[in-house]
Structure 1
Amino acid sequence: MTAPTGEPPDRSAPNVRALVGLVAGRRTSWVVLGFWLVAAVVTAGLADRLGSVQDDDSGSSLPAGAESAQVLRVQTSTASEAPLAAVVVYSRPTGLTGADRAKLAADARGFAGRADLGGTVVGPTLAADGTAARIAIPLDLGPDPFDRVAEAVGTIREAARRDTTGMTVYVTGPAGALADQSAAVSGLDRRLLLATVAVVVVILLVTYRSPVLWLLPVLCAGLALVAAQAVVYLLARYGQLTVTADSSAILTILVFGAATDYGLLLIARYREELRRHRDRYDAMGLALRRSAPAILASAGTAAAAMSCLLLADLGWTRGLGPVLAVGVLTGLVVMLTAFPALLVSCGRWVFWPARPRYDSGVGFGSGTTGFGSGTSGSGSGSGISGSVGGAAGAVGGVGVVGWWGRIGLLVARRPRVTWLATTLALGTLALGVVQLDATGLTAQESFRGSHESVHGERVLTRHFASGTGTPIAVVSRPDQAERVRAVLGTVAGVDPRSLTSTELRAGQAYLEAMLAHPAGSRAAYDTVDRVRAAMRTVPEARALVGGETAIQLDVQRTARSDRNLLMPIVFAVVFAILVLLLRSLVAPLLLVGTVVLSFAAALGASVLVFRYVFGFTGEDSSLPLYLFVFLVALGVDYNIFLMTRVREETVRYGTRRATLIGLAATGGVITSAGLVLAGTFAVLTTLPLTMIVQLGFAVAFGILLDTIVVRSVLVPALSLDVGRYLWWPHRLFRDADPDGPMMRSEPGTGPATPADTVTG
């Protein structure tokens, strides 16, 4: 039997045909380019303002009902914001001298006169061994402390280091840590953008080996980023969307990676059609009609999965969903309008030096039993190896087997053994999850490299029994204040000498006490739990426990709750979309199952790398959820690219031949797309923030795993083994011939005719 060379009928939806007529028209393509040029000018100014609406405060991210959030509202009742403590640590290994102590006293008096003081300066407090001292300075930095903390801490450091010959001085505490974080992310967007563009350019140059072609997707991805940042700014400014520095950084990576991926898919299909059509506008029109559904389905699935984050309780997680969905959808719109219009306007020369020539496509199959020629539409062979030769010849340049065709033939020899072995290998990697410690990162663990606040906290831990200046705060009914104070002083981990006098705030009694462990440490978290348990022994007091450490603890627990809620929802949403797209139950179940297995393997392997290569002692509490959403949303993308092509070819050739054709036809472009997306996320590993490094590495590794192993080996092996049952219960399952073509012709008898026409 031979496979046909005739084009399948155009069953594009009317809206797709309208889009094609607009962006691929000889005159209208220039109108589209003019529109986007104006849009770029308009959105650039809005995109520049995105940093002004970022909110990185952990307290404001908590749900209103969280205990520490309620305490925070009481704390801010008499100030524009809860005080943020800066702790100055002085150290001299040989012991503090009289002159040192005089300077400390003078510094304390100077700090007490600051205009931004949010409470009483505590100290200087000497360490028991006489070699260190500390001064705690509560700062009131307004509703957005992130913008002012670097300047405030800078002036404290300058004053504290004046006349300190031989004495080491650090500024730490929450204010010092926040200042170091501010310095770490200063100029981050620009550096991140430049690194991302560099990675994309290198990969595109290697992929196309063209000095010109790479520029087009990069320009359009940049346009998509500017438009996405403008939309996100407007949503944050007028729609109460929470945007953080982290989500802004991830937006840059995602837009560039996803937009470039969509561009690669379109370029691949356009190049195929240029070999079949003399007129480039006709070629682009057909390329758009055939690639747009897969791109739309891919972007829609990713956006829907990311939008599930709107159901989160944690503010910055809830805000991340719309930010990323906007990024994906903006990339989609630009790459389906501006990019094809730009590409077709340039002509074939843009592919130089490997310009696709009309009528140059040749398809062939490898193996002793199969062969085919692309232009004649003939081929022969038996079994899977033979069928790929005939099918390859049938689709001309589309079906050239090459490297990915040979991989398909290897998988086809023993598909069941292949998918079982691959599943076992991925399951083995997933065992690394047993070392996952997603209880959150301490202040010291949140940074990479050398930071003053981290060094200062270590000095405090060595020399002082109580915490680093961040107290635990308790509010209660005023008539129960003394009972609450007495109970609080007996809790292990609370320094009873540090109990402040009870005062009234917002009609409630308010008191503070220092922790006996560094703020944000696991021991401090245990103390918060003990204090809360102790407060429940005075139920009539209606006491609530807060403070910076309690906020961090509540953030971690809310993140865990969000993870348990959202992972099943994301799974269900993606599965439902795949069912609608493929009109099958078996194929979507297998696809989502493989991506979840890939997620587990990526997380397990990443945890091992974090422990034994990066030296991280724990993971951010949001990492499992973010990684799951990214890998399910983006990993399914590549499966959609593959399986929509397989379904398209199944109508003509049967499931098993279609699987091999789909792998051969999409293997190169999907691999390139995976490398681009993995490369852009890998850029995040260069940043000094541990959580971003963890997310960047894990997503990049997971995407490579998806691209190279899951999509190239596991999914084809399952498809070959399951055969036509892949499409159950759609009638494609009943009608498709799993081993032979659905359109039959004999060699030399002319064009093929439909033996069985199966439509969606």
Structure 2
Amino acid sequence: MKTTWFSKYGKWISSTKGKWITLAAWLIILAVVNVTLPQAQSQKDDLAANLSDSKPSVQAQKLAEKEFPSGDGKPALLTWYRSTGLTDDDLANIQKLSKEISDDPLPKQLNAAPFHKLPLPVLKKQVSEDGTTLVYPVLFEKKASTEDVKESLKKLKDRVGDVFGDNPFDTKIDTKDSLLVRATGPAGIEVDAVDLFSQGDLSLLLATVTLVLVFLLVIYRSPILAFVPLIAVGAAYGVISPVLGALAKAGFTTFDSQGISIMTVLLFGAGTDYCLFLIARFRTHLKEEQDKKHALKRALSGSSGAIAMSGLTVVFSLLALLLAQYGSIQRFAVPFSLSILIMMVASLSLVPALLSMLGRASFWPFVPRTRDMEEERARKKGKTPPAPKTKASFGERLGGGIVRRPWMIIMATVVILGGFAFFSTKIQYTYDTLSSFPKDMPSREGFDLISKHFNSGELAPAQVIVDSEEKSIDLKSKLEALPFVAKVSDEKKGKSDENLLAYDVEFSMNPYSNEAMDHIPDLRKTAEKALNESGISNEADHVWIGGQTAEQYDTSQTTDRDANVIIPVIIAMIALLLLAYLRSVVAMLYLMATVLLSYFSALGLGWIVLHYGFDVSAIQGLIPLYSFVFIVALGEDYNIFMISSIWKKSKRMPLAQAVTEGVSQSGAVITSAGLILAGTFAVLATLPIQVLVQFGTVTAIGVLLDTFVVRPFLVPALTVVFGKWAFWPSKRGMQAVKEQNHPSKNNAV
């Protein structure tokens, strides 16, 4: 029998010297990196830009900051509301607050609307037509950090309490005939967004650890073994966090709270899976080998290649995110791929070292023993040795059923998955930041009040800037004539270039909606047409559209581009890795096809659950690409583990028997791994952040479909149908033919 590298490695790490050297190396590395390098949490940047300087909305913003600096800041819109109508006392107190923060500005405050200088009758004209709502803008410095703005809003809340007595910030939104106020607008939204993610970090970590621990205890019923994967994941995270922090500090990568949250889930889910595949092999071989060292060597030899292949598949898939132009997507690449790489190393080094130390005691109280060991143990206790089990296991019966009826299995699974995939065509997408907030978040409540009692377009007007080249342009009237425009401001001239003219355009609809976003090209066409009619050539180079709605439009265009680039690259990379590992074009093609089918099925079923079960009208536009990376890469993991088992067995038995035993051998561990991975992603659905709820739901569904439909039914059934051609063009295909033509030789083996 040929000695493989993994066999040699398994022999070394299971030795007394090898296991202690491995453990010592991990402890030294952990100590060094944590003492010398900064932690990832200290280097995260929740305000990192998502759009590059080349995007039209960013160019418009920079031009506006230079030429029209009066609006250069972060506005917090204090939305005052009383259901029965604002009273004169309410307005008088608001004027008192206005004077106070004008005389003694808040930290990082640029200016605030001078309501205290307005006579009461004039101020009343700023109130909504129904008399219930007033918006008071406070502008903060553009470069003020989120923490600065948060601290300022906290001080503002204290001042409001001093002025009004009962603080309107604390009044519930559904309280009748009571004054309330909410901070919305860009400043309020920014603070709420960061708060959401920071609140979720600890709860997410605790929930994930608890879930994984419970699953491991239920699966293995061993308190000792349950902590082995958790120790490995903890050690891996102990290395990942400072390494990421050092990379960020050196400027090699950027990440945010959202990335760290998902990385934690990925690390526990995928990391535990890799540990389980080795542990399951170890337990199997402990029932065949009395020597724990030999059992561990066989376990590493049999599973290390598949673990390494699966890990590299995910690492390369995640690195493909570096090709993204959208910052939030690109920032996932380094943290996620690095975490999987280090976790893969931990599962192939630290975990076997721990198992070597613990041996059979790892599985206490249900210790795996060989038949001879069981008989000897029974004799010592004066008991009758247990009879060997002759009844076929569930996995063997399942594998046998697939071998007997592959076409029925294929048709049934394709119909089910195809039906779910159909609903993926019905999905509605949104790029509205506020829609990802819980309905009771202050900034969302404030925005809803503005939407109901004013024109919601006031919250985030678009800015149209044109270069008139000293020519007369009738642009305001043309913009006002557009059916989706509620109001257009008078033109403003540039600070250093008076040929630059700017117009604030308020939409007649929610400026964060897809409907408003779709009108950005219409604004551009209208401006270009006006320039063209004035005799200006190359009019496209003389128009800039800025504002939140324009940013969302650029986001949709950029993420669509990213999906069109990254998805084919990931498919190609995984296909090449599968081809190199399996050396079969046919197997590579049908394995890729099954994972893609499960991906679209997960999108469709996820939409059914979110839309019809949780009344979600639209999911975040980033979800399809996020989910694709994880469902395809992690789903291919399970295919690799199962198909590698079938491939190895096909060397010494007919393919039908190899499929039966491969399904039986890999079924339990893959099912356990799939449940843990799906569970960890499902934990995201418990957070109050809709983008993570939607991502966690779709990805968990995709993992479950891979675990319970694609891997145990569709893949082995396709392997049976393709038969010898499943190996084409490798030489193993010829070997399979010979084995099927000469069954007596197989029986002899």
Partner residue, 1:221: 233
447-456 or 245-254, which deviates more: 447-456
For 1:268 and 1:126, the matched residues in 2 are separated by: 68
TM-score by length of 1: 0.86
Are 1:597 and 2:597 an aligned pair? yes
Q: CA shift at 1:614, angstroms?
A: 1.4
Partner of 2:461: 471
Residue in 2 aligned with 1:438?
429
SS for the counterpart of 2:617 is: coil
In 1: Cα distance, 2:709 partner to 2:348 partner: 29
Distance 1:256 1:400, change over 3 A: farther
Q: Measure how far apart 1:45 and its partner are.
A: 5.5
Residues 21 and 515 of structure 1: CA distance in aligned 2, closer, same or farther (over 3 Å): farther
Contact 2:320 2:570 in 1 (8 A): yes
**What 5-or-longer segments of structure 2 have no aligned partner?**
116-122, 167-177, 375-387, 532-537
How many residue pairs end up in the alignment? 702
Cα gap change, 1:717/1:526 in structure 2, threshold over 3 Å: closer, same or farther?
closer
Please tell me the residue identity of whatever aligns with 2:559.
A
What is the root-mean-square deviation in Å for CA atoms of aligned residues? 2.9
In structure 1, the partner of 2:631 is: 631
Larger mean Cα displacement after TM superposition, 24-33 or 157-166: 157-166
Counterpart for residue 389 of structure 1: none
> Following the alignment from structure 2 to structure 1, what is the Cα–Cα distance between the partners of residues 212 and 499?
57
What secondary structure sits across from 1:135 in the alignment? strand
Using the TM superposition, name which of 444-453 and 466-475 deviates more.
466-475
Equivalent position of 1:367 in the other structure: none
1:738 and 1:154 map into 2 onto residues whose CA distance is 78
Aligned to 1:735: 735
Contact 2:111-2:139 within 8 A present in 1 as well:
yes
Q: Which residue in the other structure is 1:378 paired with?
A: none
- Quote how far apart the aligned CAs of 1:235 are: 2.5
Shift, 1:17, TM fit = 4.5
Query: 1:406 is matched with which residue?
Result: 397
Deviates more, 1:65-74 or 1:255-264: 65-74
The answer to whether the Cα contact below 8 Å between 2:739 and 2:746 also exists between their aligned partners in 1 is no
* 2:127 corresponds to: 126
1:287-338 CA distance string (max 9 Å, x none): 1111100001101111111211111111121121222111111110111111
Q: How big is each residue's C-alpha offset from its partner over 1:43-101, in whole Å with a ceiling of 9 and x where there is no partner?
A: 3467873233323347x111321101112333555989952221111122332222222
**Kept in 2: contact 1:26–1:281 (CA 8 A):** no
Q: Which of 484, 489, 502 matches 2:493? A: 502
Counterparts of 1:28-47 in structure 2, within 5 Å, are 28-44=18-34
3-state SS, counterpart of residue 651 of structure 1: coil
Matched with 1:64 is 53
- SS of alignment partner, residue 212 of structure 1: helix
Matches of 1:438 and 1:453 in 2, distance apart? 22
1:656 maps to 656
Residue identity matched to 1:567: I
SS of residue paired to 2:436: coil
1:532 matched to 2:532 = no
1:340 is the counterpart of 2:340: no
Aligned to 1:195: 207
Once the two structures are TM-superposed, the CA of residue 500 in structure 1 deviates from its matched residue by 6.7
- Residue 96 of structure 2 aligns with which residue? 106
- Give the Cα–Cα distance (whole angstroms) in 2 for the partners of residues 238 and 652 of structure 1: 53
Tell me the SS of whatever aligns to 2:45.
coil
Query: Could you tell me how far 1:521 is from its partner in structure 2?
Result: 2.2
Shift of 1:567: 1.6
Query: Residues 11 and 361 from structure 1, CA distance in 2 versus in 1: closer, same or farther, beyond 3 angstroms?
Result: farther
CA distance in 2: counterparts of 1:152 and 1:349, whole angstroms: 57
Q: Secondary structure at the match of 1:247?
A: helix
Paired residues of 1:657 and 1:740 also in contact (CA < 8 A): no
- Alignment counterpart, residue 339 of structure 2, candidates 298, 322, 327: 327
Distance apart, 1:664 and its partner CA: 0.8
Alpha-carbon separation, structure 2, partners of 1:290 and 1:574: 22
Contact 1:75 1:505 in 2 (8 A): no
> What is the SS of the residue equivalent to 1:483?
coil
Which moves more between the two structures, 47-56 or 198-207? 47-56
Alpha-carbon contact 1:74-1:505 (below 8 Å) kept: no
Match of 1:96 in 2: 86
Counterpart amino acid of residue 136 in structure 2: I
CA distance in 2, matches of 1:241, 1:88: 36
Distance in 2 separating the partners of 1:65 and 1:585: 41
Shift of the 55–465 alpha-carbon distance from structure 1 to 2, 3 Å rule, reads same
C-alpha contact 2:106 2:156 (8 A) present in aligned 1: no
CA distance in 1, matches of 2:37, 2:633: 25
Q: So what's the TM-score if we normalise by structure 2?
A: 0.88
- Residue 343 of structure 1, CA deviation: 1.2
Preserved contact between residue 489 and residue 496 of structure 1 (Cα < 8 Å): yes
1:478 CA drift (Å): 7.2
1:11 CA displacement: 4.7
- Tell me how far 1:576 sits from its aligned partner: 1.3
Aligned to 1:617: 617
Aligned to 1:290: 302
Counterpart mapping for 1:580-591 below 5 A: 580-591=580-591
Q: Give, in angstroms, the shift of residue 604 of structure 1.
A: 0.2
Give the match for residue 109 of structure 2. Answer: 117
1:355 aligns to what? Answer: 367
Q: Which one-letter code corresponds to 2:331 in the other structure?
A: G
Whether the 8 Å contact between 2:655 and 2:720 is mirrored in structure 1 is yes
For the 8 Å contact 2:403–2:659, the answer to whether it is kept is: no
The SS at the match of 2:680 is: helix
Bigger Cα displacement from structure 2, 453-462 vs 521-530: 521-530
Answer whether contact 1:492 1:527 (CA < 8 A) is retained: no
Match of 2:277 among 236, 244, 265: 265
Q: Distance in 1 between matches of 2:216 and 2:243?
A: 28
Secondary structure of residue in 2 paired with 1:213: helix
| Aligned-pair CA distance for 1:694 | 0.5
Out of 198, 203, 207, the position equivalent to 1:186 is 198
Look up the match of 2:640.
640
The equivalent residue for 1:374 is: none
Asked if the contact 2:469/2:499 (under 8 Å) is kept, the reply is no
Residue 191 (structure 1) shift: 1.4
Instruction: In structure 2, give the amino acid aligned to 1:232.
Output: L
Q: Structure 2 counterpart of 1:429, which letter?
A: F
The 8 Å contact of residues 674 and 703 in structure 1, kept in 2 or not, is answered as: yes
Superposition deviation, residue 524 in structure 1:
3.0
> Per-residue deviation at 1:21?
4.5
Question: How big is the shift at 1:480?
Answer: 5.4
| 2-structure distance, mates of 1:721, 1:301 | 26
Q: Secondary structure at the match of 2:506?
A: coil
2:80 is matched by which residue type in structure 1?
Y
Name the SS of the counterpart of 2:75 in structure 1: strand
How many angstroms does 1:466 deviate by? 5.0
Residues 463/550 of structure 1: CA separation in 2 closer, same or farther (3 Å cut): same
Does the aligned pair in 2 maintain the 1:255–1:328 contact within 8 Å? yes
Q: Which residue of 2 aligns with 1:417?
A: 408
The range that moved more, 331-340 or 152-161, is 152-161
Distance 1:297 1:557 in 2: 34
- Counterpart of 1:370 in structure 2 is none
C-alpha distance in 1, partners of 2:295/2:209? 29
Instruction: Provide the residue aligned with 2:244 in structure 1.
Output: 232
- Give 3-state SS (helix, strand or coil) of 2:335's partner: helix
Tell me which amino acid in the other structure corresponds to 1:604.
G
Aligned-pair CA distance for 1:360: 5.7
Secondary structure, counterpart of 1:128 in structure 2:
coil
The alpha carbon displacement at 1:105 in A equals: 2.6
| Cross-structure match for 1:382 | none
**Aligned in 2, Cα 1:199/1:212: closer, same or farther, shift over 3 Å?**
same
Task: Report the AA paired with residue 535 of structure 1.
Answer: A
Structure-2 change in CA distance of 1:49 and 1:91 (3 Å): same
Please give the secondary structure, in 1, of the residue aligned with 2:78.
Answer: strand
Distance 1:743 1:306, change over 3 A: farther
Query: Residue 681 of structure 1 contacts residue 697 of structure 1 at CA under 8 Å; is this kept in 2?
Result: yes
Match of 1:73 in 2: 62
Match of residue 445 from structure 2: 455
Q: Which has the larger displacement, 663-672 or 94-103? A: 94-103
Identical-pair percentage? 31
Are the counterparts in 1 of residues 38 and 246 from structure 2 also a CA contact under 8 Å? no
Given residue 83 of structure 2, which amino acid in structure 1 is its aligned partner? Answer: P
